[in-house]
Amino acid sequence: MELVAIKLDSEDRLRRGGGSARKNSSKTQMDDKTIKKSQQRSKRTIKQRCLQAEFDRILTLTFKFNLQDIDEAWRVFKYFIKLMKKRYPNFTYLVVPEYQKRGAVHFHIAIKGYIYHGTVRRIWRRAAGTYGGNVDITNPKNYGRFNTNKRRYSWRSSDIANYLSKYLTKDETVEFNRRRYASGGVFTAPTIIRGFIARGFPMHRLARDVFSKFRHSINFEWESEEGFFPIHYYST
């Protein structure tokens, strides 16, 4: 759960609608601030989709041949997804590409549920063709967080989102105006509730009461008085 509160005066209005078109045709024309904003937007989307799909493991696809052409790699990946959907009609995924040290492209994919390793390898090698390839699946029983008893348990969807997001900040992963990530399948959109409250009401108290109603507690909170509108943010 997330709760965002924005303070408005009587004369304030929230602008809606999309922004202007990009003015930059290459990454070299973007300043650091613009690049960071673009990366943050991608990170937010990745986090939302990981939570919506409840991903619980990572599938990594690699090429045996040193394939460095990102467009060709995406073409192979698209064919792989086509084959996977034939085998698993409800296959849901979110993928981020990365360059290996040797320069070859490989893909990190968030998925949910058990999929037989041999089947995925066979499908990926068919899609990769002469490039060859291999797969690796990090199942929850082998990877994840430790509890207080030092026993491993399934990593959370938010952990997977953080894991994938770190590749978005690598300069050599994907060039500007190329896809930083891709997704497909069934994503359950969250329920959004909007409303107004009188200024002066303690926001922490409101957030606590709302979260407790749904049997959640506040695990993170942040507020800022800078910018156009003061903002309060709370999440589980």
Question: What Cα–Cα distance (Å) separates residue 64 from each residue in 121, 132, 201?
Answer: 13, 5, 60
Q: List pLDDT tens digits, range 127-166.
A: 999 999 999 998 665 444 444 444 444 567 888 888 888 8
Q: What is the pLDDT of residue 152?
A: 46
DSSP label of 15: -
31-184 has which fold?
Alpha-Beta Plaits (3.30.70)
Half-sphere exposure (CA, 13 Å, Cβ side) for 230? 8
What confidence score (pLDDT) does residue 23 get? 52
- Give residue 64's pLDDT: 92
Q: Which residue has the tokens 């996977």?
A: 84
- What is the model's pLDDT at position 147? 46
Length of the chain: 236
- This prediction has a pTM of 0.69
Tell which wins on pLDDT, 20 or 65: 65
- 3-state class (DSSP) for residue 89: coil
Where do the structural domains in the chain lie, given as residue ranges? 31-184, 197-235
DSSP class of residue 104 equals -
Nearest 10 degrees: CA dihedral of 137, 103, 97, 178? -170
User: Which residue is it, tokens 């107004």?
Assistant: 196
Q: Please, which residues have CB within 8 angstroms of residue 44's CB and are 6 or more apart in sequence?
A: none
